Amino acid sequence: MHPLVIALALVTAAPTTAHARTAEPDPVAVLRSLLARGAGATTEFYGQFSTDLSKEVQLSNGRRTFIGSGMAMGGTGLICHHSSMQLDQTLVDAAIAQMDRRWPPGEHGGAAAVFLEDGRILTSVGLDNLNGGVSLCHETGAICQAYTLDKKVTASVCVYRDPGRGRVLVLPPCGICQERLALWGPDVQVGVPDDSSVTGWSARTLREVNPFYWGSQFTEDGTWPAPEVHFS
């Protein structure tokens, strides 16, 4: 059976004043409390809880989080809903959260997150193996899950924790992941390092990252191949 997974929709709300702000509620604790009162059944999934209920909680930063129900295939991390489908800090934070769940603090680690066309976020981590030939990039799981769900990917970001420098890096997609993301066209946004940005990263389209994409040589008008071509 496919587990029901929490769908988190982050909606910007006016922050409350500092003196009126209450302690940030733990969404999992909220769910446990509701479920204890018979609000629904739950199944753990990558540290998140599935449920058939919907509950709004306000975070200490003034943002509101809606906890509701959603469907996910097994094998992918957090699934949440977001009003934007453009690469933003929310997507980066989702990747970092997945990384922190999977890799202990202070260790090397990484993860990826993608936006789907319906606003959902999928996260995944890479597969390490003694045989390097079977290892997988961090983005692979989320990309395959999007394809399984038959949903278009609109943005993708990969993060890496570098303990030596004490920082989290945003890594551009490797050539293989660019090929995988090309399935959804040249306007898919990806995160790239950018020292001129206060965040240390910026968004670029695949077209900008790969202006001489080889696949465009096999279309009549020189545009990027349509998804149907990839399916053939």
pLDDT digits (tens, 9 = 90+) for 110-119: 999 999 999 9
Looking at the structure, tell me whether residues 88 and 66 fall in a common domain.
no
Nearest one of 179, 166, 36 to 190, comparing CA atoms = 179
Looking at the structure, tell me whether residues 95 and 45 fall in a common domain.
no
Looking at the structure, tell me whether residues 61 and 149 fall in a common domain.
no
Please tell me the pTM assigned to this model. Answer: 0.66
* 220 conformational bin, left if phi > 0, alpha if psi -120 to 50, beta if neither: alpha
Residue 121's beta-bridge partner residues? 80, 115
> Half-sphere exposure (CA, 13 Å, Cβ side) for 133?
0
Which amino acid is present at 147? Y
pLDDT digits (tens, 9 = 90+) for 75-132: 345 555 555 578 889 999 999 999 999 998 888 999 999 999 999 999 999 998 999 8
Residues of the chain with pLDDT under 50: 1-22, 24-25, 27-28, 30-76
In terms of residue numbers, what domain contains 157? 77-232
Looking at the structure, tell me whether residues 81 and 43 fall in a common domain.
no
Task: Give the separation between CA 88 and CA 191, rounded to whole angstroms.
Answer: 9
Task: Give the separation between CA 102 and CA 109, rounded to whole angstroms.
Answer: 8
Looking at the structure, tell me whether residues 48 and 22 fall in a common domain.
yes
Which residue among 44, 71, 98 closes a domain?
71
| Total number of domains constituting the chain | 2
Which residue among 71, 101, 120 closes a domain?
71
